[in-house]
Amino acid sequence: MQDDPAKPDAAEVIRVQHLEKRFGEVHAVAGIDFSVYAGECFVLLGPNGAGKSTTIKMMTGLMKSDGGSIEIGGWSVAQSPVRVRSLIGYVPQMLSVDGNLTGYENLLVFAKLYGLRRSERTERIREILERFDLAEAADRLVRTYSGGMIRKLEIGQAVLHHPRVLFLDEPTVGLDPVARKGVWEHIERLRHEQNMTIVLTTHYMEEAESLCTRIAIMSRGRIAALGTAQALRAQMGQPDASMDDVFAHFAGRFEQEEGGMRSVFRSRRTARRLG
C-alpha cells in the first residue's frame, strides 16, 4: 500500500449508497455502499462478472441504476448528469479510440466533445501528447500504435478537460510488463501532480496493493471486503497472506460454490479489447 492512505479527514468525493442493477435474473450489482476520498486511488477487484464494470458505468452516468444513489463532488449522478460529466473522466474496458484516425485527431474529437474552446484545444492536445509520450506518434494512424500507446492515448482523452475524478476500467489488461508499468506511472502522476482521485478495476493484485490506497473486493454484485491491503489481511487473521490469498479468501468462496473459480487472467479479454 501507499504510505499515504486515505486520511479520515480527506473530503469525500464519491458517495455510493445501496446501489443496484439487474439484468433480468442477474443481480449484477446487489446493493453496494462505499465512499471514495480526495486523492485516493480506489480499486475494485473481483472475478469476471462480479459487477465491477457495471458499477463504474453507473458511476459515470452511462448506465442507469435500478436503485440507490451516487454522488460525485456533492452532485447526484442521476439528477445532475451534466455537472457530473464535467467532473469526471472515463477510460472504458473496451476500446475508446478510432484506429482510422491519428492520435491528434482522436484527441481533437474528445476536445470538441468536452466543449474545449477552439483557442485552447490545440495547446491542450499538444500538452497531452507530450505528457503521455505520444508527441512523435501524433500524426500516425492509431491502428499502428502498440497496446501501451493506445492505453495512454485513451487516458489522455479522458483527462483533456481536467477532471477531478478519473475512472479506469482495467487500464492495464493485455499489456506487457513494461507497458503496464508505463501506464501505472502515468496514473500515479495524475494522482500526485494533479491531485486527481482515481477509481479503477484491475485483476493484477500486486499492482492494486502497491499503487492503490484501498481495495474493494467485489463478488456476485456485492462488496465482500473493503479496506487497505493490511486491513484485509488483518480481517482474515493472516498478516502475511499474499494478495492472491486475500482475493481467494474474500471472493473465491462464492465462485467455488458455483463449481470452481473462473480464471481472472483470461487472455481472450485482451483479444476482445484490442482485436
Residues at the interface with ligand ATP (CB under 6 A): 23, 26, 28, 46, 48-54, 93
Minimum Å gap between C-beta 129 and ligand ATP is 29
Pick 108 or 218: Cβ nearer ligand ATP: 218
Minimum Å gap between C-beta 50 and ligand ATP is 4
Q: Give the Cα separation of 37 and 33 in Å (integer).
A: 14
Minimum Å gap between C-beta 265 and Mg ion is 13
Pick 44 or 137: Cβ nearer Mg ion: 44
Pick 26 or 38: Cβ nearer ligand ATP: 26
Minimum Å gap between C-beta 219 and ligand ATP is 9
Pick 53 or 60: Cβ nearer Mg ion: 53
Are 191 and 198 in contact by the 8 Å Cβ rule? The answer is yes
Nearest to 201 by CA among 101, 51, 6: 51
C-alpha cell, 116: 474545449
C-alpha cell, 220: 456476485
Minimum Å gap between C-beta 196 and Mg ion is 21
* Maximum pairwise Cα distance, the chain: 58
**Residues belonging to the chain:** 275
Identify the residue whose cell numbers are 462464492: 254
Pick 52 or 124: Cβ nearer ligand ATP: 52
Residues within the interface to Mg ion (CB under 5 A): 52-53, 93
Pick 51 or 73: Cβ nearer ligand ATP: 51
Give me the residues paired with residue 29 across strands: 21
49 binds, among Mg ion, ligand ATP, none (CB under 5 to 8 A by kind): ligand ATP
Query: Which positions ≥6 away from 171 have C-beta within 8 Å?
Result: 91, 151, 155, 183, 187, 200, 202
Strands (E), the chain: 12-23, 26-37, 41-45, 67-72, 75-76, 88-91, 165-169, 197-201, 214-219, 222-227
Minimum Å gap between C-beta 199 and ligand ATP is 13
